[in-house]
Structure 1
Amino acid sequence: MPINPFVSLFGRSPIGPMQQHIAKAHECAANLVPFFDAVMAENWAEVEQVQQEMVRLEKEADKLKKSVRLHLPKSLFLPVPRSDLLELLSVQDKIANRAKDIAGLMLGRCMTIPPGLQALMRPYVQRTVDASAQALKAMKELDSLLETGFAGREATLVETMIMELDDIEEDTDRLQIDVRRQLFKLEKELPPIDVMFLYQIIEWIGDVADRAQRVGNRLEQLLAR
């Protein structure tokens, strides 16, 4: 397998730290599943515990982001444009940010999920986390992509992963429609202010999947160069 000479000369940094960053961002997003389980069980001690864990993970992701920005070489010998890596890093970071936003708002308002909505909400949240997991899976291949010059079997593998990520995000779009329709049916039974915030949370859950998909889009742009 041909090795990109720039990788041999300058090493894999900052790719390793970027992979650590998205792993931390995904870990934060993945906590949405136990968070919503606790919310639906109205176990508020557990809700708060998971929310605090998400805050911790988002802060760790933020520290990694700042470290990558500070240490990202400004040399012309980077195997990909520095601006592309910085944009990719920013997109990754937004996964953790939105997950933290969801938990913070729901805990702050002691939001509950109506029983008639719970059966649809759980798979919606899980599929959103699946999108984040798939973005992480694709990003784990970035160093190998650099080694092969964004070509060959490795490029084909990542392209397939990105297509799978697109499919997962489309699933979340369909699930979001189902959740919204069900909430619409329940609106008259719920306080209007609760309905308003539930719609906000439903949208934000979808944002997590959208942001994961954008990671795939950025990788796809690197492949196209």
Structure 2
Amino acid sequence: MPRIPMLGMLRVSPFDKLLEHAQKTKEGMAILKDCITTYCEGDYDKSEKLSQEIIKLEHEADIIKGNITAHMPKQILLSVDIGVFLRLLNEQDSILDFAENAVVWLHFRQTKVPAEIKDDLLNHLYKVIECIESYEKVIIHVKDIVSFSSSNKMRDQIKENIKEVHLKEWEDDQIGKVFAKKAFNLSIDPLSVYHLLKLGNLIGQIAKHAENAADRVRTMIAK
């Protein structure tokens, strides 16, 4: 299969653009936290404005992704599969995609978040953000790893960080199940229950795609 050429031969490495794309994800997660928190507090107007910032960031990330794929080199000179790289890019892109999906869905209606599940929803969100923060520790060193400038110690640390991403995703999955069970048992109208349940699912998908992206990095290390 085609492989990505030596990084030094490129004017702009695809890995530099990948990190630029990851920075958009990082910015989006910080805004997502504020967006959903303010919604839970009942400040729907502020939350709506924050959601627009996420939508803008997602669009900017899509442009970066498009530039990467449009200028992907074809030479076969380095031990990084282009297919693996593109799957990593797609999974990383899905993180912000689902953040956008979550806030768009959130603002389809103004559902008062019941006190009985407010903490569960926010804990769900915060654990997802922890998962993304763990993923950031993985992706920040990916260029060093594939350019052979990393030490065995760094590779071992990346592997530990990948395990941490998996752990955070698993922990979030457990929190999400607790949230869903409590939401199903709320004494509120069914439409509000559905709105909250789907929101919880969309938030959880963010962590799943971070886990998938981390696995693509693990594949690169193994090559």
1:177 match: 177
Aligned-residue CA RMSD (Å): 1.8
The 8 Å contact of residues 131 and 168 in structure 1, kept in 2 or not, is answered as: yes
**1:62 and 1:127 mapped to 2: Cα distance?**
25
Where does residue 48 of structure 2 map in the other structure? 48
Verify: 1:207 aligned to 2:208, yes or no: no
Q: Does the CA-based 8 Å contact 1:150-1:223 persist in structure 2?
A: no
- Residue identity opposite 2:197 in structure 1: Y
C-alpha separation in 1, matches of 2:101 and 2:87: 21
Percent of counterpart pairs with the same letter?
21
Asked if the contact 1:148/1:154 (under 8 Å) is kept, the reply is no
Any stretches of 5+ residues in structure 1 without a counterpart?
Answer: none
Alpha-carbon deviations, 1:88-122, whole Å to 9, x = none? 11111100010001101111222332121101111
Counterparts in 2 of 1:6-85, with a 5 A limit?
A: 6-10=6-10, 13-85=13-85
> Residue 98 of structure 1 aligns with which residue?
98
1:110 aligns to what SS in structure 2?
Answer: coil
TM-score by length of 1: 0.91
Give the Cα–Cα distance (whole angstroms) in 2 for the partners of residues 120 and 212 of structure 1: 21
Deviation at 1:152, TM superposition (A): 1.6
Q: CA deviation at 1:21?
A: 0.5
The one-letter amino acid of 1:200's match is: K
CA distance in 2 between counterparts of 1:216 and 1:173 reads 17
**Using the alignment, how far apart are the partners of 2:49 and 2:12 within structure 1?**
36
Partners of 2:146 and 2:221 within 8 A in 1: no
- Equivalent position amino acid for 1:206 in 2: G
Relative distance call for 1:91 and 1:202 in structure 2 (3 A) is same
Instruction: After TM superposition, give the deviation of residue 39 of structure 1 in Å.
Output: 0.7
Counterpart of 2:218, as a letter, is E
Determine the C-alpha separation between the residues in 2 that align with 1:76 and 1:119.
51
Q: For residues 11 and 199 of structure 1, what CA distance do their matches in structure 2 show?
A: 46
Superposition deviation, residue 10 in structure 1: 4.4
Q: Which amino acid aligns with 2:71?
A: H
Per the alignment, residue 218 of structure 1 pairs with 216
Aligned partners of 1:59, 1:8: CA distance in 2, in Å? Answer: 29
1:117–1:182 CA contact under 8 A, matched in 2:
yes
* 1:7–1:79 contact (8 Å) kept in structure 2: no
Is residue 155–residue 223 contact of structure 1 (8 Å, CA) maintained in 2? yes
- Is this contact kept in 1: 2:131–2:210, CA < 8 A? yes
Deviates more, 1:7-16 or 1:72-81: 7-16
C-alpha deviation, 1:150, in angstroms = 7.1
Q: Which residue of 1 aligns with 2:140?
A: 140
More deviation, 9-18/39-48: 9-18
CA contact (8 A) 2:146 2:220 kept: no
